[in-house]
Structure 1
Amino acid sequence: MASKLLSCVFGPVTIPQRYIMIGMIQLAMVNAYHLRVVLNIAITEIIGPRNHTGAVDACPNYVYEALEIKGGTYEWPVWIESFILYSFYIGNSISHIPGGWLADKFGAKHVMGTCILVSSILNLLYPLAISKGGYTAAIVLRTFVGLFQGPLHPTITTFIQCWVPIKERALLVSIAFGGSTLGAVTGNVFSGMIIKRTRSWPMAFYICGIFGMVWYSFYIFMVYSKPSTHPFITEEELQMLDEQVENRKSFKVPWVKILRSSPVWALVAGQFVHSYIFFTVMTDLPKYLKEILKVNVENNGIATALPFLALWISQILFAYFADYIVNKNIISVLRARKLFTAFSAVVPASVLVLVVYIGCNRTLVITLYTMALFLVGPFFSGMKVNLNDVTIHYGGTIAAIVSCIASTTGVWGPLIVGFLTPNSSLGEWQKVFLIMLGVAILLSIFYCVFASAERQKWDYLDDEIDEN
C-alpha cells in the first residue's frame, strides 16, 4: 500500500486527521505558553536586586546567585514589575469574545494561526522594545501579546465541536488544552537554561519566537476548520465524524439567553477558580523562589516547571479515568463533571496553604507546589469538557465569555500578591494562599449547585425544534 504524507497514510497505517489536529493544537498551546512564560523567568534578571525597606529576610541561610547578564538590567520598582506581568491579561481579556465569535462564525483555523504568528513576531521584538522604550514599551508590547493570545482557548473549543466525537472528548480535550501545561513546563525550563548558558535574557525571547513561526509553517498545511474542508481526510473518517459529531449550522448568537443561563455562570465559576490558581502559580512562583528561597535563574526555571509537568501528566491520567467511569456508566456525566471540578479547586488550594508553613526547606516547598498542581489535573475532565455538554453551536462564543471573565484573575491575582507581599515575608504569602482557598471553596459550591451536563434549550436552532 502506498504512503501519502499529507493524508497521514503510511502503508497499512493511517493516522486519523482529528488526532493530527489535536496534536497541532497542543503544539500551538505549547508555543503560546513559551511566548507567555518566558518573561516570567526573564524578568528575574531584567530587574536588578532590590532592597526592601523594613523587610525581614525570610530565609537568611540562602544567598541569591546573581549573574552578569547581557541585555541590560533595570532598576524598576515592584509595582512596575507587577504591571508588566499582568498587562498580558489586560490585552488577553479584551480579545476572548471577538476571537471566539470569529472562530464560531468563520472557522477556527486562521484565528488560531494568526494568534500564534503575531505573538511570535512580537516576542522577537520584545528585547529591542525594552532597550528603546523601557518599561513603557515592555507593558505595551506585553499587552498586545495578550491581545493576540486571547482567542486561543475559545478557538480550541470550536475545533473540538467540529472534530471530536463525544466518546473521545474528555481525553482529546485534555490533550489539546494540555499544551498550555506542557508549554509552561518547557517554557520555564528552557528559558532558565537559555538565560543561564548564554548569559543573555534577550536570547530566550528570540528562540521562543522562532519556534512559534516554525510551528505556523506546518500548521497552515495540516489543520482545517472542519472535516468537510480538509483535503486529505479519508472517506472513512469523514463519514464517521459526520455520523458522530453533530453538524453545526449558521447561527445568530442568543446573547441574552446565554448570559441569563445558570449553567453558563457555573462554567464561569469553575474556570475562574482554575485560572486563579494556575495564573498565580505560573506568574508568581518564580518571584517566590527568587525572593524567599533565593533560587538562581536556571534552577528557578526548572523548579517552576516541575509543578506544571505534574499537572500535564495528571490531566492525561484523569482524562482516561473520566472517560472510563462515564462510558461504563459507573457515574453520571454531571456527577463526574462536578466531582472533578470541585476537587481540582479546593484540594490544590488547601495544599498551597501548607507551603508557607514549610518555611525555608526548598525541597519540601517545591514538592508541595508540584503536588498542588498535580491535583489540579481533574479540572480538564470536569469543567473544561462540561462546556461542550451544554452547547454544540456556540462553544467558541461561550468559551470566550468564560475565559474573558476568568482571565481577569491574571490581572488582580498578581495585584493581590504585590499588594500583600511588599516585604516578601512568609506571613504575607500566607494571606495570599488563604484568600485563594476561600475563593476556591465558594466558587466550587456555586459550580456544583448550578452546573448542567444537558444541552441547553437556547442551543437549539429553529429548524431543529421543528424537526423534533
Structure 2
Amino acid sequence: MSTQQIVGDVKKELRFGVRHVQTLLLFFNIVVISISRLNISVAVVAMTNAESTNPNFQEFDWTEQQKSYIISSFYWGYVVTQLPGGYLSRRFGAKIVMSISVFASSVCSLVTPFLVPWGCWQIFSLIRILQGLSQAALFPAIHEHIAKWSPPQERNMLGALAYSGVDCGMVLAMLVSGLIASSALGWPGISYISAGTGFVWCLLWHIFAANNPPTSRFITKAECEYIETSMKREKDFHERKIPVPWLAMFTSMPFLALLVVRCAETWGFSTAQSQIPSYFNGVLNMNIKSNAFFSALPYIARWIMSYIYLFFGNMAVARNWLCLTVVRKIANTMAMWLPALFMIGVGFFDDTNKSWAIALMTMNVGFNGGVTIGCVLSTIDVSPNHAGVVMGIVNTLTNVVSLLTPLVVGFIVTDAHIRSEWQIVFIIAACVFFVGNLIYLIYGTAEAQPWDAPDYLLGNNIKEVPKTARNDKLKRVDDSF
C-alpha cells in the first residue's frame, strides 16, 4: 500500500483517530498534574489566612520563608528523578511509568489534609517532596509518547494541543482552588479533589493508552501504517534499543542552547506562577476570592494565546511562508521578550493602580504561552529518537531553577507588602528572559541533529561496536556500490 493511499484512508476513515485519543489523554494528564502541582500557591494563602476563605478550618502561622520552603519543596524531589524517568520510559514504555507516577502523586494529595495539622509545615514540605518524586518521570514520558504517536507533519499540532493542558491546569489550579477553599470543603478540599481527578485519569489511561501504535488495541491498520510509514520506521523499530550518544549530545550547540532557553523560561515563568497570589494579596491587598479569579486570569489569557500561536504557526509552515525553525524562534521571542517588559512594568504599580498591575501581569503570562510551540517542542525536534532522555536532562536543570526561584523570592521579599522588593524580583526575571531567548535565537533549531540517527554511534565509533555489527555495516556499504 502506498503512502498516498494510506494517507487517503486515514483522512476518510479516521479524521479522529487513536493518535488523537492519546493526545487527549496527555492533555488531561497534564491538567491533572498541573493542578496538583500548582494549587499550592493558592492553598498556602488559604491555610495561613483562614478569614479570607473558610474560618472553620485550622489556620497556620507560617513565615514567608517557611511558605517559600513549602512552595519550592516539590521541586526538591521533582529534580532528582527526571533523567531516570527518561530512561524508564525508553525501557518500559510511557504507559506504566505514567500510571505509577500519577497514582502515587494522587495518594500524596489524599493524605495531605490528615498529616499537615499533625506535622505542620515540615510534614507538608516532605509530602510535596514525595509528590515531586512521583511526578518527575511524567514529562520525559510524555515527550517519549508524543514522539512515538505523532507523525512529523502533525507533531506541532498534537504536541501543542497536549501541552495546552499546562495552561488549562493552571487556570483550574488558580481559579477552582480558590473557590474550593472558600466553600464548605475549605482548604482540605483542594487536596481531595486533586486526588480524585488523578485516580479517574489513571483508570482512563489504563483502558485507552498504548506505548506505541502497533501495540494499541483500538487502532486500525490504516492509521497504524500511516503513523509508522510517515516516520520511516522499520518493523522492529519499537523493539530496538538505540544507544544514547552522550558526548555528541552535550557538545551540540543546539542542545546546549535548548538547555539555556528552557532554564531562562522556567525562571521567569516560575517566578510569575508561584508568586502571583502572594503579590496580589500582599501588594494589591486582594482577598482570596478576588485573588483566585485574578490569579487565574493570566493563565486564561495564556491558554487562549497558546491556540492563537498554534494556529498562525501551523498556517505559516503549511503555506511555506516560514520554516519551522523560524516559526519557533518568532513564537519564543514574543513569549519571552514581551513578558520581560511587562514584568518590569508590574512592579511600578500598587493597590491604587490594581487594574494596570493586573493587565500587565495578564499580558505577561498570556504572551508567554508561545513557548509551547517555541522552545518546549524543540526538545522533540532536535532528537525524536531520544526525546524522553533529552526531556529528562532538560527538565532536571529547569526544575533546579524552579526549586531556586521561590527561595530567591523568599530571600529578597522579607515582607510581601513591600513593593520595592517585588520590583527586584521582577527585574531579575526579565533579564533572565532576555538573555535566554537571545542565545536561542543564535543557536536554536528545529532540525533533528546528526547524533539523533539510530546508527550514529555505529558510524562514528566503529571500534566500540561489536564485530558482527561492524560486518553488517560494511556489508551495507558494499551493497551500496
The TM-score, its normalising length taken from structure 1, stands at 0.90
**1:450 correspondence with 2:451:** no
Matches within 5 A, 1:303-322: 303-322=294-313
Matches within 5 A, 1:257-406: 257-360=248-351, 361-406=353-398
**1:203 correspondence with 2:193:** no
Matches within 5 A, 1:408-423: 408-423=400-415
Q: C-alpha separation between the residues in 2 aligned to 1:48 and 1:241?
A: 52
Between Structure 1 and Structure 2, the one with more helix by share is 2
Does structure 1 retain, via aligned residues, the 8 Å contact 2:265–2:436?
no
SS in 2 for 1:69: coil
SS in 2 for 1:408: helix
Select the residue among 222, 239, 242 that pairs with 2:208: 222
SS in 2 for 1:357: coil
Measured after TM superposition, the shift of residue 14 of structure 1 is 6.3
Change beyond 3 A, Cα 1:69–1:33: farther
Does structure 2 retain, via aligned residues, the 8 Å contact 1:279–1:413?
yes
Measured after TM superposition, the shift of residue 452 of structure 1 is 2.5
Match of 1:123 in 2: 109
Match of 2:44 in 1: 43
Select the residue among 127, 136, 146 that pairs with 2:132: 146
Match of 1:6 in 2: none
Q: Which 5+ residue runs of structure 1 have no aligned equivalent?
A: 1-8, 50-64
Measured after TM superposition, the shift of residue 183 of structure 1 is 0.5
Compare 400-409 and 352-361 and name the one that shifted more: 352-361
**1:238 correspondence with 2:224:** yes
Q: C-alpha separation between the residues in 2 aligned to 1:70 and 1:214?
A: 29
Does structure 1 retain, via aligned residues, the 8 Å contact 2:53–2:186?
no
Match of 1:32 in 2: 33
SS in 1 for 2:39: helix
Query: Which amino acid in the other structure matches residue 427 of structure 1?
Result: S
Match of 1:61 in 2: none
Matches within 5 A, 1:18-167: 18-48=19-49, 66-167=52-153
Does structure 1 retain, via aligned residues, the 8 Å contact 2:284–2:350?
no
Measured after TM superposition, the shift of residue 67 of structure 1 is 4.3
**1:461 correspondence with 2:447:** no
Query: Which amino acid in the other structure matches residue 136 of structure 1?
Result: Q
SS in 2 for 1:198: coil
Does structure 1 retain, via aligned residues, the 8 Å contact 2:54–2:182?
no
SS in 1 for 2:385: coil
Q: C-alpha separation between the residues in 1 aligned to 2:366 and 2:49?
A: 33
Select the residue among 424, 428, 435 that pairs with 2:421: 428
Query: Which amino acid in the other structure matches residue 102 of structure 2?
Result: I
Q: C-alpha separation between the residues in 1 aligned to 2:113 and 2:285?
A: 25
Q: C-alpha separation between the residues in 2 aligned to 1:359 and 1:81?
A: 23
Query: Which amino acid in the other structure matches residue 63 of structure 2?
Result: P
Does structure 1 retain, via aligned residues, the 8 Å contact 2:110–2:192?
yes
Does structure 1 retain, via aligned residues, the 8 Å contact 2:53–2:289?
no
Match of 2:173 in 1: 187
Q: C-alpha separation between the residues in 2 aligned to 1:140 and 1:165?
A: 41
Query: Which amino acid in the other structure matches residue 453 of structure 2?
Result: Y
Q: C-alpha separation between the residues in 1 aligned to 2:271 and 2:123?
A: 24
Alignment size in residue pairs: 444
Q: C-alpha separation between the residues in 2 aligned to 1:215 and 1:254?
A: 35
What is the root-mean-square deviation in Å for CA atoms of aligned residues? 2.0
- After superposition, the C-alpha distances for 1:419-458 in whole angstroms (9 at most, x for unaligned) are 1111231111111111111111111111122212322222
Q: C-alpha separation between the residues in 2 aligned to 1:414 and 1:86?
A: 6
Q: C-alpha separation between the residues in 2 aligned to 1:456 and 1:236?
A: 30
- After superposition, the C-alpha distances for 1:165-194 in whole angstroms (9 at most, x for unaligned) are 121111211111111110010121111111
Change beyond 3 A, Cα 1:70–1:257: farther
Match of 2:247 in 1: 256
Compare 121-130 and 420-429 and name the one that shifted more: 420-429
Q: C-alpha separation between the residues in 2 aligned to 1:22 and 1:246?
A: 21
Measured after TM superposition, the shift of residue 104 of structure 1 is 2.0
Does structure 2 retain, via aligned residues, the 8 Å contact 1:333–1:453?
yes
SS in 2 for 1:318: helix
Q: C-alpha separation between the residues in 1 aligned to 2:145 and 2:98?
A: 10
